[in-house]
Amino acid sequence: MVSARVEIAGLDPWRLGGELWAADYRGARSPRLPGLCFSGPNLIPLRGNASALRSFADRALRKQRICSSLVGPSEQVLGLWDELATEWGPAREVRADQPLMALRGQPAVPVDPQVRPVRPDELDRYLPAAIAMFIEEVGVDPRAGDGGASYRARVAELIAGGRAFARFEAGEVVFKAEIGALSRDVGQIQGVWVNPDKRGRGLGTAGTAAVASRLVNSMGRTASLYVNSFNSPALASYRRIGFSQVGRYATVLF
């Protein structure tokens, strides 16, 4: 997520849409920074020991919270939340165990040939499915606050970039997924959703495989995603596709 931003925008905060914080300490001999954190719409601690996380917390607490979540490697997220909870708590939800999964080769299941990029003129048909997915996954309505203008713009941007995918049946979205962050090496699949009336048909597995295949074979990237550990059906589906766990994320939602 952070690599994709930095590769496009560099480190200028205005172009980056946030700040990249570094924590250093005397005596460090490695060129690799021991502490790194992105502060923007999400607060993303990438690495750091307890001392680095305390410094990130001190920096974050200098002003009012603007991020909608903490997300990233579970050890760093939960450690940073321990430092912030007194001032920023309570959280709406803490998802402490989210397997981070990756696929570097061809999917192990047949892909859905009817899953394709969404066209710009299909925004109005795609948007209700995107809103339904967001409410189901995040627990809030993305239209709150501005009537949905900003969320509509974000979805339109993904469609224009060829990064929103769907299967339509009778003009209705029955499966959707998006490629959110896209760095030079990795593409992150997000927003996987199947119409509730169509679940149990394998659309999620075949559709996600189609998006993953496009990332791996057409874009030359590793396909990546993360999922809640309690979502057993999704975990089983991703493992059938060929995804393997490469890390563990956590998310704190406000």
Question: What one-letter code names the amino acid at 74?
Answer: S
Q: What is the pLDDT, as a whole number, of residue 236?
A: 97
Across 30-65, b (16+ Cβ under 10 Å) vs e yields eeebebbbbbbebbbbbbbeeebbbbbbeebeeeee
In angstroms, what CA-CA distances link 205 with 128, 142, 180, 225? 21, 26, 18, 13
The model's pTM is 0.91
In what side-by-side order are the strands of the sheet with 35-39?
19-23, 35-39, 42-47, 69-73, 244-253, 93-103, 222-226, 186-194, 172-182, 164-169, 116-117
Residue 189 or 139, more confident: 189
Angle in degrees, 0-180, between the axes of helices 50-60 and 74-88, rounded to the nearest 10: 40
- Return mean pLDDT, the chain: 95
Q: What is the pLDDT, as a whole number, of residue 29?
A: 62
Is 27's pLDDT higher than 60? Answer: no
Pairing assessment for the beta strands 42-47 and 35-39 based on DSSP bridges: antiparallel
Is 222's pLDDT higher than 80? Answer: yes
**pLDDT confidence tier of residue 253, bands split at 50, 70 and 90:** very high
Q: How far is CA 203 from the centre of its chain?
A: 21
2-9 contacts, C-beta under 8 A, 24 or more apart = 2/38, 2/44, 2/46, 3/181, 3/183, 3/184, 3/185, 3/186, 4/181, 4/182, 4/183, 5/38, 5/40, 5/181, 7/183, 7/184
Q: What is the pLDDT, as a whole number, of residue 152?
A: 97
Q: What is the pLDDT, as a whole number, of residue 30?
A: 62
Q: What is the pLDDT, as a whole number, of residue 28?
A: 55
Average pLDDT for 228-253: 97
> For the segment 109-133, what is each residue's pLDDT rounded down to a tens digit?
999 999 999 999 999 999 999 999 9
> For the segment 152-175, what is each residue's pLDDT rounded down to a tens digit?
999 999 999 999 999 999 999 999
Alpha carbons 119 and 199: distance in angstroms, whole number? 24
Q: What is the pLDDT, as a whole number, of residue 33?
A: 76
**pLDDT confidence tier of residue 24, bands split at 50, 70 and 90:** confident
Domains, in order of start, for the chain: 2-91 (no CATH), 116-246 (3.40.630.30)
**CA end-to-end span of the chain, whole Å?**
19
Q: What is the pLDDT, as a whole number, of residue 26?
A: 59
Alpha carbons 171 and 169: distance in angstroms, whole number? 5
Is 32's pLDDT higher than 90? Answer: no
